[in-house]
Structure 1
């Protein structure tokens, strides 16, 4: 790598850090960050200085917004001195795409932050954790990824937080970027970019306190024959709502009145449950179409999927954004 580079490593737990529990017989997160790094062959030969932080030992599904706020603050402090060239986060794959997206919303440093994990735990034949961690360290130290924000690296592929999805429950190649593809791959200890990382959006301001304002954002997925009764149950229970609609942003006509009523009280975002491609704004015109719903006060989510839309809306509400600011923020993701 030439001049010695420095990478900070934060372990959060997840499959990559799991061993068998003698009581239950199932695997649980138990390995430390040092344990993980010790399992990676030839890592010391890269000549990269590693600063190791054993941050959490929890399953990916148990991570929360408080954890990410604290992690983001720790990373920001580590990067302030300028002597760290990149960051690696290891965690459970259940929430990797969400963790990466939330961190990317506020990451305003040039150093890349690489999130990785494993689909096969260390007790299985062919665990992928060591290879993924090796590739993640390489990516974090790579000068060509400066300014790229938060990225996800698994299976020797580099994905932008903006596009990455977990698209299979068990495959080591589970992580993909629908509609965009990976921004690069790793081979022979080199980062090889295949396309430019997506344009970064203006980072959100850091929260003034770890928790921010206590915010609840609901996610409602529309289904065939939906009569709207469950939608009505959200009224009064959340500060914002994301509707994962059919296709380009359509719902059954019987939901229209409930959605219009909700949109007068809280921000209601219109996303697509397909999670690949944009919500339209002006093509269809029947009751329950995207044009009709936007006219009734729903905010289109651009080409953000429903999970990303929920996260962005939650972060905006946590910093006190009003409806106009929310609309502007989501409009930016359509450009």
Structure 2
């Protein structure tokens, strides 16, 4: 982003501009090939954009040690998880951005790009899929989320914390990554909705909007609860399309067997809703989108969520990365 004639900042800098503004990058000895893929605000990205990006990443991966994606932070966490689910190679995909644009004092973009470059070139980052590098922290794509609108420390991983840090220019991994799963290449673009539970909602709007979707994620209260007035609507929907139950909290899991009242997580899963485990609603929507985009049936979709929620459960497709992540 940089200043526009009409006021405010807009995406106008090229990838070469970004790389050229990084102090110390040449001193690392890391060769960086620059590609201008697309120039759009993060808020305007579409699944079609990400599908094109994933194809470009796949084509370029064999000739690189790692790949860095720079984008606006609005949808950065969703891009990272999307690429993570489609990437089967050992090369790390590092997604990074900036919270403070270059027109402000102390922009963080150059530092984030330098850290991302060091992580992308590190042998310790291989076989970990997509990672997010911001503020010298290394986050797993399936955990990270933007938790502050303006802070340079905006990105956190509530479930498990960062995988590691960039310390004195060296990536240091302290934690394991979860087993990697690869969704087959998309063959269509389904419409997947996200509906959040709020106090007093009687499901009128849920009923009106759900008919337009091929799949739906419900961001429920707490451990996966909704108002009892939703039960009949969700029961009917779950017989027609995959309906995934996540928590609007963004940290902690959806439960499956603790509460038993109408609209509780146990009641809803018995009615056919698919629990999202530790995935927050935004990542659950990405996983649901990609499973449906790959042509998955209801059983394969449910199996994919079980495998992500419970390591050791069988993954429904044979396509897998060659190796899992190394130990920390």
Distance apart, 1:226 and its partner CA: 1.2
Distance apart, 1:66 and its partner CA: 1.1
- CA distance in structure 1 between the partners assigned to 2:288 and 2:129 by the alignment: 20
Number of residue pairs matched by the alignment: 310
Match of 2:2 in 1: 19
- Pairing 1:310–2:285 present: yes
Question: Which runs of 4 or more aligned residues in structure 1 lie more than 6 Å from their structure 2 counterparts after TM superposition?
Answer: none
Q: Residue 158 of structure 1: SS of its match in structure 2?
A: strand
Match of 2:161 in 1: 181
Distance apart, 1:179 and its partner CA: 2.0
- CA distance in structure 2 between the partners assigned to 1:241 and 1:118 by the alignment: 31
Match of 1:329 in 2: 304
- CA distance in structure 2 between the partners assigned to 1:332 and 1:275 by the alignment: 19
Match of 2:93 in 1: 113
Match of 1:14 in 2: none
TM-score, normalised to structure 1's length?
A: 0.91
Match of 1:206 in 2: 185
Match for residue 43 of structure 1 among 6, 11, 25:
25
Distance apart, 1:197 and its partner CA: 2.3
Distance apart, 1:235 and its partner CA: 3.6
- Kindly indicate whether the alpha-carbon contact (under 8 Å) linking 2:193 and 2:210 is maintained by their aligned counterparts in 1: no
Q: Residue 178 of structure 1: SS of its match in structure 2?
A: coil
Higher strand content, 1 or 2:
1
Match for residue 154 of structure 1 among 117, 134, 137:
134
- CA distance in structure 2 between the partners assigned to 1:113 and 1:31 by the alignment: 21
TM-score, normalised to structure 2's length?
A: 0.93
Moved more, 63-72 or 95-104: 63-72
Unaligned runs of 5+ in 1: 1-17
Match of 1:241 in 2: 216
- CA distance in structure 1 between the partners assigned to 2:2 and 2:264 by the alignment: 49
- CA distance in structure 2 between the partners assigned to 1:235 and 1:41 by the alignment: 50
Match for residue 75 of structure 2 among 95, 119, 131:
95
- CA distance in structure 1 between the partners assigned to 2:177 and 2:306 by the alignment: 20
Q: Residue 84 of structure 2: SS of its match in structure 1?
A: helix
- CA distance in structure 2 between the partners assigned to 1:150 and 1:242 by the alignment: 23
- CA distance in structure 1 between the partners assigned to 2:176 and 2:235 by the alignment: 40
Please give the root-mean-square deviation of Cα atoms over the aligned residues, in Å: 0.9
